[in-house]
């Protein structure tokens, strides 16, 4: 016989709710899955990626919607972490100068870094529980801060993360009207040793391992209150400039 513990789609009366990690195969995403499981706070941690079942490709809205439906069927979504992102690869590398801007690379960066998480918000936020605390956190990047931009370069990544921050802020305002206890926030994970950051490793730069970054991110989210929804924070909980 299948018991509620075996089958995440069977909710129990003492339901702790579930956590969902989008981009669960990435460096930080996989560490977030591990940290959420180790916390013991969730009945189930649903790992979603382009190779999971169901597969979730943030550039394919039908796959995002199908995964959101599956997630909501598993239980109350108390935490959703969006850990997808693109800085380099497949003909994309961060621009050093304006002459390096390539329309296709710019469009792809916006597609993965801004539009993709917006689609996750579109399909997950209306499925958050109507009552009680729930958190949707999207991994952004401090280099997406316009106010903090002193070095220039990295046009596509910076601009797509700035767009992501605006999308998070806008969604949070709408979310508060229907789910006042819920939060939607953008988090800068810090520089973390992953496939995304490794080509840009520099001597003297403080780099965290993904496991400790994931633990800090979850601890930071725990400390945020509903009044912090719509904000942009680093993993210590410090508010970052837009």
Ligand X SMILES: NC(=O)c1ccc[n+]([C@@H]2O[C@H](COP(=O)([O-])OP(=O)(O)OC[C@H]3O[C@@H](n4cnc5c(N)ncnc54)[C@H](OP(=O)(O)O)[C@@H]3O)[C@@H](O)[C@H]2O)c1
Q: List residues near ligand X by CB under 6 A.
A: 23, 25-29, 49-50, 56-59, 83-86, 112, 116, 139, 141, 188-189, 191-192, 194-197
State the minimum distance, in angstroms, from the CB of residue 198 to ligand X.
8
Residue 131 vs 195, nearer CB to ligand X: 195
Contact criterion met (CB below 8 Å) for 17 and 78: yes
Which C-beta is closer to ligand X: that of 76 or that of 184? 184
CA distance 62 to 39: 31
Residue 37 or 211 with smaller CB distance to ligand X: 211
Q: What is the spatial distance between Cα 128 and Cα 143, in angstroms, rounded to a whole number?
A: 29
Q: What is the three-class DSSP state of 14? A: coil
Half-sphere exposure of 100 (CA within 13 A, CB side): 13
Smallest distance, ligand X to C-beta of residue 16, A: 26
Nearer residue to ligand X within complex by CB, 211 or 228: 211
What is the nearest approach in angstroms of ligand X to the Cβ of residue 164? 8
Shortest gap between Cβ of 237 and ligand X (angstroms)? 16
- 41/50 with CB nearer ligand X: 50
Nearest approach in angstroms of CB 188 to ligand X is: 6
Question: DSSP per residue over 113-168, as a string?
Answer: IIIHHHHHHHHHGGGS-SSS-EEEEEE--GGG-STT--S---HHHHHHHHHHHHHH
Q: Provide DSSP, 45-84.
A: EEEE-TTSSS---TT-HHHHHHHHHHHHHHS-EEEEEE--
CA distance 160 to 229: 20
User: Least separation, in Å, of the C-beta of 163 and ligand X?
Assistant: 13
Which CB sits closer to ligand X, 180 or 199?
Answer: 199
């Amino acid at each position: 016989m299948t018991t509620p513990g075996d089958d995440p789609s069977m909710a129990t009366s003492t339901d702790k709710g579930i956590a969902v990690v989008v981009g669960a195969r990435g460096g930080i995403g996989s560490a977030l899955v591990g940290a959420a499981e180790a916390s013991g706070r969730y009945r189930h941690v649903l790992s979603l990626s382009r190779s999971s079942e169901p597969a979730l490709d943030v550039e394919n809205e039908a796959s995002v919607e199908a995964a959101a439906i599956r997630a909501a069927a598993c239980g109350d979504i108390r935490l959703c972490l969006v850990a997808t992102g693109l800085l380099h690869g497949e003909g994309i590398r961060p621009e050093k100068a304006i002459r390096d801007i390539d329309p296709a690379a710019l469009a792809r960066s916006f597609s993965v870094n801004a539009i993709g998480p917006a689609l996750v918000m579109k399909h997950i936020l209306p499925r958050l529980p109507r009552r009680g605390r729930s958190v949707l956190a999207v991994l952004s990047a401090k280099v997406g801060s316009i106010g903090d931009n002193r070095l220039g370069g990295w046009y596509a990544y910076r601009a797509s993360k700035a767009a992501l921050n605006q999308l998070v802020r806008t969604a949070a305002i709408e979310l508060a009207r229907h789910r006042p206890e819920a939060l939607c926030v953008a988090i800068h994970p810090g520089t973390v040793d992953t496939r995304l950051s490794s080509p840009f490793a520099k001597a003297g730069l403080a780099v965290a391992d993904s496991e400790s970054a994931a633990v800090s991110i979850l601890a930071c989210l725990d400390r945020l209150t509903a009044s912090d929804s719509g904000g942009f924070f680093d993993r210590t909980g410090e508010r970052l400039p837009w």
